[in-house]
Structure 1
Amino acid sequence: MTELLIFGRTGQVAMELARLAPGARLLGRDEADLTHPDACAALIHEAAPAAVINAAAYTAVDRAESDAETARLVNGEAPGAMAAACAGLGIPFLHVSTDYVFDGSGTTPRPEDAPTGPLGVYGQTKLEGEAAIASAGGQWAVLRTSWVFSAHGNNFVRTMRRLGAERDRLTIVADQIGGPTPAADIAAALLTMAQAMRADPSLGGTYHFAGAPDISWAGFAREIFARSGLAPEVQDIPTSAYPTPARRPLNSRLDCTAIARDFGIARPDWRKGLDRVITELNA
């Protein structure tokens, strides 16, 4: 029997899960194609694990605007099929979602029950996945997070370190505010939740988990440069000056009190996580 089955192998969270749970079975795209939801469900029935974590997703936010069908299969239908399979086996299903399910209005942190309103295809398909998971029944947890970074994959920290070494001056968006979240802390939170959910079938639902303190992208960039020994000039710009195919939420602040209440998991200090990532990148 597989103790823990994880969908995803090369993504930021999946790679950290592999480090923290070396006994887990991770399914890459070669084994689990999320554009075939029924096949993913069949893999769960075949493995009969103690719990399942879905750390795979269609995360190309801008490309999703012109590839909605694929995004919907991967982010919407596949998680629903996985959740239904887990419900049938009576095992916990955990899934990673996003701040993009909200419209980004206001300036206060969003609780889990705040009204949703995705601005684009990516957020809409992630929201559809959440709904499919909830309707599948069984024991499930959706973990919404934001601004994920690590020493691998495509993320803001790696991009800024590259650009900061190449350029003397950078213009960076300063009116989007959120909590940068180390992928290692997301992985640790998911494993803690999975263990607790196995022990207590009443646990589950939708939870928010993001790094603290909240900051702008421009502010985050300055911290990355300072801690990396880089010194490009950073000019703050509004989102309107950096148009992208998909609209970004201005307010990505997440209220993370529920996960602390139910699982004892506190918001991680992303500055400590950033230092760990930079140490790893420098090595």
Structure 2
Amino acid sequence: MANLLINLNTLRAFEATARKNSFTLAAQELCVTQAAVSHQVRQIEEVLGVRLFERAHRRVTLTDAGTRVYGTISNAFRDIDSTLREVRAQGEAKMTLTVQVTPSFGSRWLARRLHWFWAEYPEIDLRIYHALPHEQYDVRRVDLAIKWGHKSWGSLHSEVLFECQLLPVCSPRYLRPEHPLRKPEDLLHYALLHEDSYEDWSAWFRAAEVSQPVPMRGPIINDSNTLIEAALNLQGIALGRLPLIREQLQEGLLVSPFDLAIKCEGAYHLVYDEKVSNSEVFKKFRNFLIEQARAGLVTAE
């Protein structure tokens, strides 16, 4: 039976592929090539003598045998990770907390406030990882996730950190004297930048009681960070999430031609496993985030 003891890297390639249903996504997570992951999975199949995946275009699905193997391996990795975390927590001189954030939240809100946290808690090491909003929160690798959305996350605990309003913003250098912005419909003389779809701008114009139809055109960008960078670089007028752009408004890098803001269909949530909530490190960082969020709301008022 010794020949069935497959090395951990190969098992990790199988586990990542099964979890993401994709060789490509597994390769991205493991920082290797797609060909390497595919080769490692085939090695396991050759050793076991069975197919673990049904391969289709850009997607793979587990066979019955693959499902059985995945259940055992994923549980084993979870147990290994849990034990290693416990040992590390006992042996590390410094306390650590692993946090997952979206790129826009990390760069436009969190990064501007971290120096206050470290000034108060220099003994705590934060490990911050970026992930897109739709990517899954993995309780095995992350202690806390800050996610955008308007839903629950299964068995994980979630609480609203703050909600957002959408406000029209652009670089002051983008505005043109020949097209002054005196009333909301004057915005139609400019390029409008859209996040995900045309719906946010349509909702804003409805709130502004603009009767003429909003033209369904202009770039659609699925990342709010890139959206604001485009506005800063004179590409058009965007609807920015107010808590994430407040500093740029105060610094004059962005201006808002109109004060009308509409509520976002979503909020930033703290998402975590209930077990981690007993950690003193977690409590300190959670309290810091909530205090900073409340301070922003007071500033806005």
Normalised TM-score (structure 1): 0.27
Normalised TM-score (structure 2): 0.26
Higher relative strand content: 2
